[in-house]
Structure 1
Amino acid sequence: MSDTDMPRLLEPGKRDGRDPNALSFREARPASICEVASWPDRLEAVANELSKSCGVNLPKGPGGFTAGGGKRLCWLAFGRFLVISEDATTTAALKERISTDDGSVVDLGHARYGVRIEGEKAAAVLNKAVAIDLDIAAFPAGALAQAPIHHIPVLIMRLDDARFDVFAPSSLAQAFVDWLEDAAQEFGYHIGAPGGLS
């Protein structure tokens, strides 16, 4: 998707709070996002095709993601996957490769708004609303969780010790950004230019 396709809710260059260098936020704008669901008896076929098409191994199970080659393969729940990609053709390619006899592919590119949260206090700011232990020992790199933030259903992905990507429904993105900036006041933050998955 292009920059003109999605609203710009985070204002690049903005600095606020006690220490503006404590946290950084930026819009995370992959080129495509799709949800893939397998029919109950076709999970193995769909999972194998996803791994092959994305060029990455499957996560060990629900609640994790793997990444490589500009793609993330996320296992959300039994029979439900999310593919986030820097390649704008990924969703269309998966629609061709996954038979409707095996499952379905739904384009979510315009339905999700991503934010990269980075800094030593990244987990702390999320834990103001998320009742999940985000300590690195309990929620390591490659872990994901679906949780409500300020009554907004979001997907939280841990990239490493100090970086998370959070995807919210586009229709509720403004409410999520408002919450995030307010929650981060205690620590301070600055906003960078939009970017992709790297």
Structure 2
Amino acid sequence: MVEQMSPLGDAYVPGSHGNFADGTGVKISLPQPGSIVEATAWPGREAALAGAIERVTGLSLPHHPGGGVVTGDRSGFGIGPRKWLLTDAAEGLAETLRDALGIENGTVTDLSHGRTAIRLEGERAEWVLAKFFALDFSSDAFPVGSGRATMHHDILAQIQRTGPSRFNLYVFRTFARSFWRVLCHGAEEVGYEVR
């Protein structure tokens, strides 16, 4: 395994920050999955891709954008028609899935070195995210497992709710430091802890 340098550099400052006099509203961390993969089915081959994903990961994913699943160290959600974002704590998911899928059914792209995962969790997580994205983050509109592909200004963010008050955000590695700083700034008034 090749050790990666953090894209956050000196922006990563562990500890408590902002207004935490009444407690910490959110925690911000870097979960560092071993694999971040985008899988796309050719038209009419969605079932073949869904079957390959289930065989390789055990995830049974819905066939519509936004639907998703979180189980243990693996997760996945629809980011567009015939397209899913998958994560695994282990490395090598792209190669294994590519072999299981076959080129006649779709494509698999390893995004592990091009994306950074950021986790935001806590009782004020929905409120902090609503500052940046025009989405309804309530649990009724955005249930556990589901995800959205959206933008904050020019920064693409793929967001999955991975727990009742926990979200994983996937951003381009080159924008990670800038996005991290903005997210921390937005969490200052509720108090945040960097882990």
Do the structures match in fold with TM over 0.5? yes
- CA distance in structure 1 between the aligned counterparts of 2:5 and 2:94, rounded to whole angstroms: 17
Is the aligned partner of 1:70 residue 2:63?
Answer: no
SS in 1 for 2:138: coil
Amino acid paired to 1:143: S
Query: What residue ranges of structure 1 are gaps of 5+ in the alignment?
Result: 193-198
How many angstroms does 1:153 deviate by?
Answer: 0.9
8 Å CA contact 2:7, 2:174 repeated in 1: no
The percent of aligned pairs where both chains have the same amino acid is: 28
Q: Distance in 1 between matches of 2:193 and 2:76?
A: 29
8 A Cα contact 2:26 2:192, kept in partner: yes
User: Which AA in structure 1 matches 2:14?
Assistant: G
Task: Find 1:118's aligned residue among 114, 118, 121.
Answer: 121
- The corresponding residue for 1:142 is 145
Q: Counterpart in 1 of 2:188? A: 185
Whole-angstrom distance in 2 between the partners of 1:46 and 1:60? 10
Q: CA deviation at 1:5?
A: 4.5
Q: Which amino acid letter does the alignment assign opposite residue 88 of structure 1?
A: E
Contact residue 35 and residue 94 of structure 2 kept, 8 A: yes
Inter-partner Cα distance in structure 1 for 2:78 and 2:2: 26
Query: Aligned pair in 2 of structure 1 residues 177, 69: CA closer, same or farther (>3 Å)?
Result: closer
Partner deviation per Cα, 1:23-64 (whole Å, 9 max, x = no partner): 110012000111111110211111111112111212363202
Q: Give TM-score scaled by structure 2 length.
A: 0.91
1:97 aligns with 2:97: no
Equivalent residue for 2:110? Answer: 107
> Are residue 131 (structure 1) and residue 134 (structure 2) matched?
yes
Q: What secondary structure sits across from 2:30 in the alignment?
A: strand
The whole-number CA distance in structure 2 between the counterparts of 1:22 and 1:173 is 22
Q: Separation in 2 of the partners of 1:106 and 1:159?
A: 22
Correspondence for 2:85: 82
- Please give the alpha-carbon distance, in whole angstroms, between the structure 2 residues aligned to 1:153 and 1:147: 6
Q: TM-score w.r.t. structure 1 length?
A: 0.89
Separation in 2, partners of 1:58, 1:118? 24
Amino acid at match of 1:4: Q
Q: 1:45 maps to which residue? A: 48
User: Alpha carbon RMSD of aligned pairs, Å?
Assistant: 1.8
Contact kept, 8 Å, 1:6 with 1:110, in 2: the verdict is no
C-alpha contact (below 8 Å) 1:36/1:105 kept by paired residues: yes
- Residue 163 of structure 1 is matched in structure 2 by 166
Equivalence for 1:196: none
Mean Cα displacement is larger for which, 6-15 or 48-57?
6-15
| Corresponding residue to 2:179 among 176, 180, 183 | 176
